[in-house]
Structure 1
Amino acid sequence: MSRRIVVVASMAGAPGVTTCAVALAAAWPVAVDGGVRPVVVEADVSGGDLMIRFGLPDAPSLLDVASSAGRDQPGSLLGAVSELPCGVRVVASVPGRGACRGAVRLLAGESGRRVLRGDDTDTGTVLLDVGRAGDDTEPLIQDADQVVLVTRGGPEALTQVSTCGLDPRAYAGRLTLLVVGPCPYPAGEIADVLRMPRVVVWPWDARSVAALSGAGRMRPRTAGPRARPLMAATDELVRRLTGAQGLAARVGGRAQEAQGRGGGPGEAHWSRVGLVEVPGEGSSR
């Protein structure tokens, strides 16, 4: 047994990938990993956010983990862990693109991925925040047990997802689309047009984000009648990622149809009145 890897990424822009990764860690049920708490690892080639956001020291960091990956006896991932005020364990990365890109490339190599996974005695989950997906992070995405693709809910952002050439079938059930913030389209409609079997709409609310950022006095609630909408949706997403039965309504029948359809994802046009698929290569129309 080794650690589970969940990659959190975006195709473009800054839709809140790091906040999503921290929220997932806050909501993660430790019982599925034998009581071991998850670890968020910042592996964004553009540099980290958590050091500045939480005033963390610049060492240990992702640079230490990456530099040890090529040694005969690599260091422990957990040796570089810091803890956030909301109770989440993180391996933070320094700000700035220069050093981080090299560190991510090392981490994406075979020896780096072994450090992330650990050995047969290691358990737990690594939530890998890779920021914007690209060539440098492709090996990490391909090796992941689950991939959460984060996008905003507006027409432009959803169009970018539709035209990026992503084929959900290639992920064999490992891919979830997380739609952040206000979104005029229901999850089932998005799943139908993009042929995404799993779509979760993530309502952005300032109180939950403040709690995750250390500005609130209490840790965010993830379940129960007092749970904020963002954290309740996060709890549902975690249940899907871990295979547990969720409490909220599932994506409708169209999402199930999308999973069984042939052909690659067609180009889509997002109108104010709904989603209109434009026939093109791989379209069924």
Structure 2
Amino acid sequence: MTTRKYYAPHGGHPPQTQLLSDRAVFTEAYAFIPKGVMRDIVTSNLPFWEATRLWVLARPLSGFAETFSQYIMEVGPGGGSERPELDPAAEGVLFVVEGEMTLTIAGERHEMVPGGYAYLPPGCHWQLRNEADAPVRFHWVRKAYEYVEGIEVPQAFVVNENDLEPNPMPGTEGRWATTRFVDPNDVRHDMHVNIVTFQPGAAIPFDETHVMEHGLYVLEGKAVYHLNQDWVEVEAGDFMWLRAFCPQACYAGGPGPFRYLLYKDVNRHAALRLGTR
């Protein structure tokens, strides 16, 4: 088993001597949220969560992203929730980047550590608790599940990235690979949350331009990303929020692997009427 690295924010505030300028960018095509802006002042709370705060990285926004929200959750010792998800139509993915937690799904306990991944279908009965003596930090990606008559809803499952083998991109000799947690041909799933890994010097050698919108959280390493018409330097802890059809490419400069958690919406018709997706 390979043990991998995961970046997690810890909040705090910069000193008064720090320069005001930073790398944050918001455009019509993409948003770039550098790790330096994930401070205490922008955390929030949620109903029925104890000893918990969160950073909201993405949310449905008119004229921009439409399909998902993404949080970084921080749950202190003894914290958690017996009523974590209040929307019965929401599906979710949890991905642990630091600490330990106990996820209970329909009465079955799952001990989750860094690299732990859980898929939670709509209507799933789950609870979460931090039974350790240090905070746990994890991503929570939420999406309104798009039901299709005749297609079953996926089942909940829990795995760990460190137990899976990445799938190399054809023609790259393993320099560009994706760790997939569900079969991409399984049309029960209307979103994928994967991990993409680039070895030093690897690249997406063309501007991808596609209908899927993206959330990309850098787990490890650094790279230069081409977003629409801009080149943006990114590193562990940064987040990119890409609108549908935003051109995108990257070059991993090293010295170590460049890895990110990737959200995309898949496997459904494009809505032809406003408000029907």
Q: Which TM-score bucket, shorter chain as reference?
A: under 0.3
Structure (1 or 2) with the greater strand fraction: 2
* TM superposition score normalised by structure 1: 0.27
Identify which of structures 1 and 2 has the higher relative contact order when contacts are C-alpha pairs closer than 8 Å and 6+ apart. Answer: 1
* TM superposition score normalised by structure 2: 0.28
